[in-house]
Amino acid sequence: MRALNTILLVAMAWLLLSTQASLAASPIVLHLQNPDGGAIRGLIIGIDAYEHVRPLKGSVADARDIEQSLRQMGTNDVITLTDAQANRSSVLQHISDLVQRTTSNDLIILSIAGHGAQEPETIKGSEPDGLQDVFLLPGFAPTPEGSRQRILGSEFNHFIRQFELRGAKVLFVADTCHGGGMARDIDPRAAEMSFRQVSKYTLPVDKLVPVTNESDPVSDLDLDRTAFLAAVDRNTKAPEVKIPGIDGLRGALSYAVARAFEGGADANHDGKVTLKELFANVRQVVYQLSDQRQNVVTKASPGRSVESDVVFQLAQGPTLAATPGPTVPPKPMIPAPPAALSRDLAVAPAPTEISAPIRLAALGSRTNNLAKLTSRNAAIEIVPPVDNPDLIWDSKSRDVISWGDVVAYGIDERDLVSVIDRTAAIRELKRIATKTPQTLRVAPDDGQYHKGRTVQIELSDVTSRAIILFDISGDGTIQMLYPLGSDAPISQTGNLRLQLKVREPFGAEQVVAVTSTKRLPDLEQAILQLDRRKAPGQLIKILNTYLSPDARVGSIGFFTAP
């Protein structure tokens, strides 16, 4: 068992360098293609502006993102309804119109982002717990008239059946939630988080008249040609999250699906995205972006093969010539002898581009000097605790909280810059790991780990792939985890499980996995030279320099406490 030093992370945010080769290459323009030969059609819904329940912040942006991805990938039949446009009569009319346009072998993409809820089932026996999922529309309220502004899960099953009867396949994306649990408790000092779920309610008078007929499926398991992606399971809340490089909050599932449409889910680069590839890609991207607060639920109709059923293809379109721009190639790293791992690396500093600032808030009275904080690696903006900060510093306890989790304990004001730099670096790691993710999980659960507890890091789908695994501790110290000593650098099995033991100091950890078809000795050596050193900025530049084109990167955080 390997000891994992859980100490405070200091990070330097380096913008990823583009190499001469990538600039010289002409990008290939891809477009989506239906493998069955039919059209691809979409109805996309996003609702933030609820009139009578708590509004959301990222659902409209989610809808626009998916719409834009579909259109830029060549799909023209896309209808997007946002906020007030998504009232019940409008949604039903557009679904009806879409059914009429649908022909045999079409692929129908239905996506909804907004609030969800649970109510007693209307079709007896359709749900094991007797509760059905409900999707709330902008005018919903627990009043007689407000009750009309919702769509029942059984109604969506009815609509999906209509598409299937016309010979189409359906991909249904539900970026909402219906339960009330969480993977980890939220620190009460954290800024209020936004979840896509409303409090329980009762309907004294329900004026909704469901759309139904006798041939409707009892449950989604009775559908024949449909695949489902849901943000969380029926017992968990779906948070709106921060996406690296994007302002505001978003739904992690919608973001992941949009990137999948753009080619991110084609794991083996054969131009075909199977259900297995789509599910695995979206599941890992959401898991990473949500800091392990979300586990996506994926389902397919019993008649569809997850292993081999192709959801969509990526067909090559016209090639656009790249316009070379000015570039500063990085100087090669000079490898240090193995016995001198603590010596400095001769690495040319990467040009630093500061984008969105790190938003810092403080609790308590000892905050007068925060405005004087400066960093060479990240812009700093001081904001109130209620103004969506990236970090909150409790000056009394000296804890630093980020998005509901304590990321560092016992941090003095003079050490805050280190935590700020860490936050900037984690942004870059998430950005890298979203492009071609390696499946990476924390076990036994995604909760908070205490001193002495064993954490298991699990990699899957790594047969015949070279593996590098390392940790960035709370203070930015790099720790090589694999391969070490007699470890086999290339996996002979499909899975790798590595046990780590938690010890103080406590806070946030970021475990990163890199896998590739061939061993990357230069990358291994470079990381070993950083072992036990506080150098996350150099690490990010090293990854950009030595990652192979076929590399997959997984990056997950977990949290420890006394």
pLDDT per residue as tens digits for the range 163-208: 999 999 999 999 998 755 555 667 778 766 788 888 889 999 999 9
Q: Could you write out the DSSP letters of every residue in 218-236?
A: SSGGG-SSEEEEESS-TTB
More confident residue, 238 or 521: 521
Asked whether residue 219 carries a pLDDT value surpassing 90, the answer given is no
Instruction: Look at 122-136, 262-276, 367-381 and tell me which has the smallest mean pLDDT.
Output: 122-136
* Dist CA 407 CA 362 (whole Å): 15
Structure tokens at 167: 């010979």
What integer is the mean pLDDT of 49-75?
Answer: 96
CA torsion, ordered 68, 403, 228, 439, to nearest 10 deg: 100
Structure tokens at 95: 């679904």
Question: If we measure between CA atoms, which residue out of 219, 238, 232 comes closest to residue 131?
Answer: 219
The amino acid present at 536, given as its one-letter code, is P
Residue 355 pLDDT: 65
Measured in whole angstroms, the distance separating CA 230 from the mean position of its chain's CA atoms is 13
Asked whether residue 21 carries a pLDDT value surpassing 50, the answer given is no
Angle at the Cα of 228 (from 221 to 222), degrees rounded to 5?
15
How does the average pLDDT of the chain come out, rounded? Answer: 84
Residue 190 pLDDT: 75
More confident residue, 538 or 546: 546
Instruction: Look at 10-14, 141-145, 218-222, 484-488 and tell me which has the smallest mean pLDDT.
Output: 10-14
Structure tokens at 455: 């954490």
Instruction: Look at 16-30, 270-284, 413-427, 511-525 and tell me which has the smallest mean pLDDT.
Output: 16-30
Residue 263 pLDDT: 93
What integer is the mean pLDDT of 134-161?
Answer: 95
Residues 6+ apart with CB under 8 A from 315: 30, 31, 32, 33, 271
Q: How confident is the model at residue 364 (pLDDT cuts 50, 70, 90)?
A: confident
Domains 2-20+342-561 and 27-319 share a fold: no
Residue 1 pLDDT: 56
Beta bridge partners of 471: 479, 511
Find out whether 441 and 397 touch, Cβ atoms under 8 Å: no
DSSP helix/strand/coil, 418: helix
For the chain, percent of residues with pLDDT exceeding 70: 84
| 212 CB-contact burial (10 Å; exposed 0-12 / middle 13-18 / buried 19+) | middle
More confident residue, 508 or 27: 508
* Sign of the dihedral through C-alpha 396, 402, 406, 412: negative
**Where in 301-390 does DSSP place strands (E)?**
310-319, 358-363, 380-382
Instruction: Look at 340-349, 398-407, 460-469 and tell me which has the smallest mean pLDDT.
Output: 340-349
Asked whether residue 86 carries a pLDDT value surpassing 90, the answer given is yes
Instruction: Look at 141-150, 341-350, 473-482 and tell me which has the smallest mean pLDDT.
Output: 341-350
Distances (CA, A) of 161 to 170, 212, 561: 9, 11, 49
Q: Side-chain half-sphere of 261: how many Cα atoms within 13 Å?
A: 23
Residue 478 pLDDT: 85
For the chain, report the end-to-end CA distance as a whole number of angstroms: 20
Residue 165 pLDDT: 96
The residues spanned by each domain of the chain are 2-20+342-561, 27-319
For the chain, percent of residues with pLDDT exceeding 90: 55
Q: How confident is the model at residue 42 (pLDDT cuts 50, 70, 90)?
A: very high
Find out whether 416 and 373 touch, Cβ atoms under 8 Å: yes
Q: Which fold has domain 2-20+342-561?
A: S-adenosyl-L-methionine-dependent methyltransferases (2.20.130)
Residue 109 pLDDT: 98
Residue 504 pLDDT: 80
Find out whether 228 and 172 touch, Cβ atoms under 8 Å: yes
Q: How confident is the model at residue 237 (pLDDT cuts 50, 70, 90)?
A: confident
Asked whether residue 12 carries a pLDDT value surpassing 50, the answer given is no
Residue 225 pLDDT: 95
Residue 72 pLDDT: 95
Q: Which fold has domain 27-319?
A: Rossmann fold (3.40.50)
* Dist CA 22 CA 10 (whole Å): 30
Q: How confident is the model at residue 129 (pLDDT cuts 50, 70, 90)?
A: low
* Dist CA 183 CA 46 (whole Å): 25
* Dist CA 295 CA 232 (whole Å): 6
Q: Which residue has the tokens 């004294």?
A: 204
Asked whether residue 132 carries a pLDDT value surpassing 50, the answer given is yes
Residues 6+ apart with CB under 8 A from 136: 47, 50, 53, 114, 115, 116, 117, 149, 150, 198
What integer is the mean pLDDT of 420-436?
Answer: 88
Residue 445 pLDDT: 82
* Sign of the dihedral through C-alpha 126, 131, 133, 137: positive
Structure tokens at 377: 């690696």
Find out whether 490 and 463 touch, Cβ atoms under 8 Å: no
* Residue length of the chain: 562
DSSP helix/strand/coil, 538: helix
Residue 369 pLDDT: 77
Query: How many other CB atoms are there within 10 angstroms of residue 181's CB atom?
Result: 11
Structure tokens at 410: 């016992």
Q: Which residue has the tokens 């990163």?
A: 512
| 145 CB-contact burial (10 Å; exposed 0-12 / middle 13-18 / buried 19+) | exposed
* Dist CA 301 CA 304 (whole Å): 6
What backbone torsions phi and psi does residue 447 show, to the nearest 5 degrees? -80, -165
> Sheet harboring 495-503: ordered strands across?
2-5, 495-503, 454-460, 440-443
Structure tokens at 194: 């936004």
Asked whether residue 88 carries a pLDDT value surpassing 90, the answer given is yes
pTM value surpassing 0.75: yes
Q: What is the DSSP letter of 117?
A: E
Query: How many other CB atoms are there within 10 angstroms of residue 306's CB atom?
Result: 16
Distances (CA, A) of 56 to 53, 60, 83, 174, 387: 9, 9, 10, 15, 15
Question: If we measure between CA atoms, which residue out of 275, 281, 276, 280 comes closest to residue 263?
Answer: 281
What integer is the mean pLDDT of 105-112?
Answer: 98
Residues 6+ apart with CB under 8 A from 549: none
* Dist CA 347 CA 262 (whole Å): 34
* Dist CA 397 CA 123 (whole Å): 52
Q: What is the DSSP letter of 185?
A: P
Beta bridge partners of 242: 249
